[in-house]
Amino acid sequence: MVIHIKNILDKNIREAGIKQPVTAAIICDEFNKLAIEIIGEKIRDKAKALYLKNRTLTVAVLSSVIGQELKLHEKEILEKLNKKLGDNAVDRIRFFV
């Protein structure tokens, strides 16, 4: 019988009661990667996902221009996040300037 490490980790995370914080951290990390993939390297130090609460991802941006650019791609980012992490993991993105 083969037991996959992913199954062991998932079980331990659930039992420890830390599934939501772990999922939120994964979503933040994934947003940061997607932003660079979609907009380019210029955004690397100008936007960062802070936290996920009630399926709303809060992102800090250094300027309103960067916030607007991300807002233009919000639908695409949400689709990619939800496709990768499961439907309805994130409903909306809030940009904090």
Q: What does each of the 97 residues of the chain score in pLDDT, given as a tens digit?
A: 778 887 888 788 788 888 888 889 999 999 999 999 999 998 999 999 999 999 999 999 999 999 999 999 999 999 999 998 877 889 999 999 8
Residue 72 token pair = 């233009």
Burial 87-96, CB ≥16 within 10 A → b, else e: eebbeebebe
Note the pTM of the prediction, 2 decimals. Answer: 0.85
Determine the pLDDT at residue 70: 95
- Top CATH class, 22-96: alpha beta
Angstrom distances, CA of residue 90 to CA of 40, 51, 66, 74: 22, 11, 20, 11
Q: What is the DSSP letter of 62?
A: S
| Helix (H) or strand (E) run with residue 22 in it | helix 19-39
